[in-house]
Structure 1
Amino acid sequence: MPRTALLLTGLPGSGKTVFSEVARSLGIPVITLGDVVREEVARRGLEPSQENILHIAQELRDRYGKEAIAMLASNKIIEFLKQSCLVVVDGIRSLEEVNYIKSSTNAEVFIVVVHASPKVRFARLLARGRSGDPKTWDEFVKRDFKELSWGLGNVVALADKIMVNEGSIEEFKNKVRDFLSEVMSRWCILELK
């Protein structure tokens, strides 16, 4: 039976978390790569500040390669793929992560980009107030460029689906629900028989 890893990417504040929440509500397992980094920050006893999160993410990539975060999450991805025809991997940042997941899981991969303009994303990040989120425009721009330096733009260039998220949260939830319902009916039909 075919298994698919839906690889979710987009810059901070674009709506990846909302996408993942909708996926979970539909019973689709979700692995969030940012949580892998936040867990490592906590394991080291560090404050979960933006600076520490970016530093640890960079350190892991420098030490183990651009696929480092996907490597740390791969066992969980494989376990979820044993249970479900579709798994969402939230927070892909490089083609190396895409290729690592593809080769280590033997799953089909489908790249989804969530896009929103910088001003919209910055306003969302200020409103959500998650630990590690930028508090100033300069921090926001610095974080974007750091994530782009990891290769996120290359992943975006190879996207199978781009979802623009400039409207309300409810509008986006409906878009995601419709998309995932279509995906499940197309890719998971074998599980229903």
Structure 2
Amino acid sequence: MSRLVIGLSGPNAAGKGEVCKYLNKKGFTVFSLSDILREIASKRNIVLSRENLILLGNKLRAQYGSGYLAKRLLKKIKSCDKIVVDSIRTVGEIKEFKKKFKDRFFLLYITAPKKIRFKFLKKRAREGDPKTYKEFLEIEKKECSNKKTQQQIHLCKKHADFFVFNNSSISALYKKIDKILLKIFNSFSDSKS
């Protein structure tokens, strides 16, 4: 099989990390745009809060273009056949991956109700995550801009090949991912016949 790239987008704490872990167990190599941003922030001695990462990402996109983080990540992707790219937050990033991988790139948009996502967020207890529901909602607004230089998670949804509504158990989420993988693999075998 030639290279397959699955991109993940969606709001904070919707289950993208769980999908990454699951796909990694299925032989996918996981890359994250957020990790690229964290590396840059660390080199600049910026505290790794969600707020600071959003501001840094917006600054970098304003300076270098909306696909900047994707271009940086593409330099790290070498000889992997099955790839997951986590944390796609702009249409510019989607365009970079589609330009590079063409019909081998599939975007999954993962979402869940806000209250469930806040519960997930509290459970994962990641450094820099908002502590209160009010802070969570404020950050949410900052992730949904119409400006090319800022996060556009709500616009990424329009470019998704598949939607995953994560409102149940982890096993239910995995079943949804398995169905999507089956569709993707079937589309490859259909195109060969």
Per the alignment, residue 121 of structure 1 pairs with: 117
- Give the secondary structure class of the aligned counterpart of 2:83: strand
What is the root-mean-square deviation of aligned Cα atoms in Å?
Answer: 2.2
Q: Give the percent of matched residue pairs that are identical in Structure 1 and Structure 2.
A: 30
CA contact (8 A) 1:67 1:94 kept: yes
CA contact (8 A) 1:9 1:92 kept: yes
- Give the secondary structure class of the aligned counterpart of 1:53: helix
- TM-score (norm. length: structure 2): 0.86
Question: How far apart, CA to CA, are the structure 2 residues paired with 1:131 and 1:182?
Answer: 36
Match of 1:144 among 124, 140, 152: 140
95-104 or 173-182, larger mean C-alpha shift: 173-182
- Give the secondary structure class of the aligned counterpart of 2:106: strand
Number of aligned residue pairs: 186
Per the alignment, residue 83 of structure 1 pairs with: 80
Question: How far apart, CA to CA, are the structure 2 residues paired with 1:184 and 1:25?
Answer: 17
- Give the secondary structure class of the aligned counterpart of 2:48: coil
1:38 to 2:35 alignment? no
CA contact (8 A) 1:22 1:177 kept: no
Question: How far apart, CA to CA, are the structure 2 residues paired with 1:140 and 1:56?
Answer: 18
112-121 or 93-102, larger mean C-alpha shift: 93-102
- TM-score (norm. length: structure 1): 0.86
23-32 or 36-45, larger mean C-alpha shift: 36-45
Query: Structure 2 regions of 5+ residues with no counterpart?
Result: 146-150
Per the alignment, residue 71 of structure 1 pairs with: 71
Per the alignment, residue 54 of structure 2 pairs with: 54
123-132 or 49-58, larger mean C-alpha shift: 49-58
Per the alignment, residue 6 of structure 2 pairs with: 6
Amino acid at match of 1:158: H
Q: CA deviation at 1:108?
A: 2.8
Per the alignment, residue 94 of structure 2 pairs with: 98
Question: How far apart, CA to CA, are the structure 2 residues paired with 1:182 and 1:105?
Answer: 18
Per the alignment, residue 108 of structure 1 pairs with: 104
Q: CA deviation at 1:20?
A: 0.6
Cα deviation digits, residues 79-109 of structure 1 (max 9, x gap):
1xx330x321111112111111222445632
Q: CA deviation at 1:117?
A: 0.6
* Structure with more helix by fraction: 1
Q: CA deviation at 1:17?
A: 0.4
Amino acid at match of 1:57: G
Query: Structure 1 regions of 5+ residues with no counterpart?
Result: none
